[in-house]
Chains A and B, each alone.
Chain A
Amino acid sequence: MLAKRIQPMVSQARRLYVELMFQVMGRALQAVSEVDDAVKKETQALPAGFLFEMMVMPNGPRLIVEHTGLGRLHYHGASAPRPVDLSIQFKHIAHAFLVLSFQEKTAVAFANDRMLVDGDISYAVRMTRVLNRLESFILPKLIAERAVKEYPSNLHLPHKLISAVRIYLKVATNFVETVRA
């Protein structure tokens, strides 16, 4: 009985968590593309104006970023200015929660058919590498190891800390600017 009454609250909390994580990730993607050369190198291969979306099917939370050129990503929030070029879609909010709460690695989620790719697979592989790199920077190593297939052995603590601080500062600034606007 109690479980039945709690269930809607749990669902709502899960949805809010996924929405919040998408907002953080979208801004962090923009930030990491300004901070990290390896990410810049990855995103430079995307066409300028390329729109990338991560969303929960059918009409759940979403994040949209655009490659504006020279490897820079721009976070658009939850709405795209035009049809997206690449969409990674979670089949259910529960699957998105598993990944975004670091209970299931992104690669494992792909292997488990939790997500679909609509668009060029090679770009999806590239964006997955970018997401992995971002998670390696912004998460403590113990948590990052749960999120990525393999924690990069060449990512040393000073570089990780400095990059993480710069990314979080940019994310916070972006949040404040959004609220002000």
Chain B
Amino acid sequence: MTQKYYEFFCPVKVIAGKSALEHIPYELTGLAAKRPMIVTDKGVRAAGLLDPVIAACEESGLEIVTIYDDVPPDSSTTVVRDIAGIYRQEKCDSIIAVGGGSAIDTGKAVNILVSEGGDDIAKYSGAGVIKHPLKPFFVVPTTAGTGSEVTSVAVITDEAKGVKLPFTSSFLLPNAAIIDPRMTLTLPPHITAATAMDAMTHAVEAFTCMAKNPLSDAYATAAVKKVSRSLLSVMDNPKDVDGRLELAQASTMAGIAFSNSMVGLVHALGHATGAICHLPHGLCMSLYLPYVLEYNLETIREPLGDLLLSLEGPEVFSATPAARRAEASISALRKLRDQLHKRCQLPRTLKETGKVSEDQRNQIAEMALDDGAIMFNPKEVSLEDARAVLQRAWA
């Protein structure tokens, strides 16, 4: 009898492609929502990204009741409480989060408060605390990397206690994710590169870590293929609408993959580096990916070799002996990083970031060892192992 078992869940309606934003009014009406609130940040508003969202709604006679545009990069319990207060005051009935990871997480947390009641978001922290469906919630991502539009997790900082509160529930998943290439057209090159490598890492770890399964594999390989094929062309031609859509879809697909199969050591090291050295998450992912794959190599040789087809295409795959495909996959990722470094100086080593000191490496290793992602890494990681990976990633 088979020993294999897996779970897969993604009820998010994905609305993707040309004029996707114009579907928002119809979709909201279908959920009996008439008074949406937009949750976003100042950068998104200043870049004019709200305009097509508002225009799409107004043209269909749907009024955006209120806009909260002051979500900080690390959202807090106070911000969530304030937004929930505005939502109630304005008698809103639905939320549209427009932005990156922070705006989306904030939207999820606000939805908990306005649906479940109260002002203290902390009491809903943890796994499975929320037991009922929440208010209609739509997400319009403006970066192509986090995959937050299809994950059932939100992280909010409790400023008073100085801790990050995790919220996990399938009810946090939005009703719809609207992937419109107009929303990522103006992303600057270094953010395009870092967020795309974030999506790439989600997909590669989803495909090589312990909770991989046939359904997440399908999403992961498709995401790897899209990033490999489109990232450099978008870097060379940022107004490439088709390429932008490919990256945005890759991000969503990688999000579906990793939220159903989890991630591993790259994320454990990346979370620790982000917390200690304040480096952007996507950059950390890009930086650590090849070094961690090298560390895991003998445990993941087969799936990593299979990924070569998605990374380099059928010609390279068939021309590479099966025994060399795993190494060739790592080389393909290194080559991609070199190209990104050439185009926008995306760091490939800790030294190149200029923001990590040698003595912080031990701290990163210790913190990474306690990160939840490490549980799903296919190879056991000791403190010495983590230090060794950091040493290789140094320069």
Please give me the residue from chain A that is nearest to B380 by CB atom. Answer: A150
Contact B126 A104 (CB under 8 A): no
Interface-lining segment among A1-9, A27-35, A110-118: A110-118
Of B166, B210, B372, the contact of A108 (CB 8 Å cutoff)? B210
Of A112, A116, A148, the contact of B5 (CB 8 Å cutoff)? A112
Contact B126 A118 (CB under 8 A): yes
Contact B372 A124 (CB under 8 A): yes
Whether a CB of chain B sits under 8 angstroms from the CB of A121 is yes
Whether a CB of chain B sits under 8 angstroms from the CB of A128 is yes
Please give me the residue from chain A that is nearest to B367 by CB atom. Answer: A122
List 7 other contacts, CB 8 Å, given A111-B210, A111-B376, A121-B166.
A107-B375, A107-B376, A111-B211, A112-B211, A125-B372, A125-B374, A149-B379
Size of chain A's interface in residues, with CB distance under 8 A?
Answer: 23
Q: Kindly provide the distance from the CB of A131 to the nearest chain B CB, expressed in whole angstroms.
A: 12
Contact with B along A39-74 (1 / 0, CB 8 A): 000000000000000000000000000000000000
Contact B379 A150 (CB under 8 A): yes
Q: How far is the CA of A107 from the CA of B7 in the complex (A)?
A: 16
Please give me the residue from chain B that is nearest to A110 by CB atom. Answer: B375
Q: Which 8 A-B pairs have the closest CB atoms?
A: A150-B380, A122-B370, A111-B211, A121-B372, A111-B210, A149-B380, A112-B5, A113-B7
Whether a CB of chain A sits under 8 angstroms from the CB of B118 is no
Q: Chain B residues with Cβ under 8 A from A141's Cβ?
A: none
Q: Chain B residues with Cβ under 8 A from A116's Cβ?
A: 127-128
Q: Chain B residues with Cβ under 8 A from A76's Cβ?
A: none
Whether a CB of chain B sits under 8 angstroms from the CB of A126 is yes
Q: Chain B residues with Cβ under 8 A from A123's Cβ?
A: 370
Query: Mind listing 27 A-B residue pairs with CB under 8 Å?
Result: A104-B3, A107-B375, A107-B376, A108-B210, A110-B375, A111-B209, A111-B210, A111-B211, A111-B262, A111-B375, A111-B376, A112-B5, A112-B7, A112-B211, A113-B6, A113-B7, A113-B211, A116-B128, A118-B128, A119-B126, A121-B166, A122-B371, A124-B372, A125-B369, A125-B372, A128-B375, A149-B380
Please give me the residue from chain A that is nearest to B211 by CB atom. Answer: A111
Q: Which of A137-162 contact B (CB under 8 A)?
A: 148-150
Contact with A along B1-40 (1 / 0, CB 8 A): 0010111000000000000000000000000000000000
Q: Chain A residues with Cβ under 8 A from B209's Cβ?
A: 111
Q: Chain B residues with Cβ under 8 A from A125's Cβ?
A: 369-372, 374-375
A-B contact count (CB 8 A): 50
Q: How far is the CA of A126 from the CA of B383 in the complex (A)?
A: 12
Q: Kindly provide the distance from the CB of B156 to the nearest chain A CB, expressed in whole angstroms.
A: 15
Q: How far is the CA of A88 from the CA of B288 in the complex (A)?
A: 30
Q: Which of B145-177 contact A (CB under 8 A)?
A: 166
Please give me the residue from chain B that is nearest to A103 by CB atom. Answer: B3
Contact A112 B369 (CB under 8 A): no
Q: Chain A residues with Cβ under 8 A from B380's Cβ?
A: 148-150
Q: Chain B residues with Cβ under 8 A from A150's Cβ?
A: 379-380
Of A103, A107, A128, A148, the contact of B210 (CB 8 Å cutoff)? A107
> Given A112-B5, A113-B7, A121-B166, are A126 and B127 also a contact pair (CB < 8 Å)?
no
Q: How far is the CA of A47 from the CA of B44 in the complex (A)?
A: 42
> Given A111-B211, A112-B211, are A126 and B370 also a contact pair (CB < 8 Å)?
yes
Please give me the residue from chain B that is nearest to A128 by CB atom. Answer: B375
Contact A122 B372 (CB under 8 A): yes
Q: Chain B residues with Cβ under 8 A from A122's Cβ?
A: 370-372
Q: Kindly provide the distance from the CB of A101 to the nearest chain B CB, expressed in whole angstroms.
A: 13
Q: Which of B203-240 contact A (CB under 8 A)?
A: 209-211
Of A110, A124, A126, the contact of B376 (CB 8 Å cutoff)? A110
Q: Kindly provide the distance from the CB of A58 to the nearest chain B CB, expressed in whole angstroms.
A: 13
Q: Kindly provide the distance from the CB of A171 to the nearest chain B CB, expressed in whole angstroms.
A: 25
Q: How far is the CA of A149 from the CA of B382 in the complex (A)?
A: 12
Q: Chain B residues with Cβ under 8 A from A126's Cβ?
A: 370
Please give me the residue from chain A that is nearest to B262 by CB atom. Answer: A111
Please give me the residue from chain B that is nearest to A119 by CB atom. Answer: B126
Q: Chain A residues with Cβ under 8 A from B166's Cβ?
A: 121
Q: How far is the CA of A124 from the CA of B262 in the complex (A)?
A: 16
Q: Kindly provide the distance from the CB of A120 to the nearest chain B CB, expressed in whole angstroms.
A: 9
Q: Kindly provide the distance from the CB of B258 to the nearest chain A CB, expressed in whole angstroms.
A: 13
Q: Chain A residues with Cβ under 8 A from B369's Cβ?
A: 125
Q: How far is the CA of A125 from the CA of B126 in the complex (A)?
A: 16
Q: Kindly provide the distance from the CB of A111 to the nearest chain B CB, expressed in whole angstroms.
A: 4
Q: How far is the CA of A107 from the CA of B374 in the complex (A)?
A: 10
Q: Kindly provide the distance from the CB of A146 to the nearest chain B CB, expressed in whole angstroms.
A: 11
Q: Chain B residues with Cβ under 8 A from A149's Cβ?
A: 379-380
Q: Kindly provide the distance from the CB of B214 to the nearest chain A CB, expressed in whole angstroms.
A: 14
Q: Chain B residues with Cβ under 8 A from A113's Cβ?
A: 6-7, 211
Q: Which of A75-130 contact B (CB under 8 A)?
A: 103-104, 107-108, 110-114, 116-119, 121-126, 128
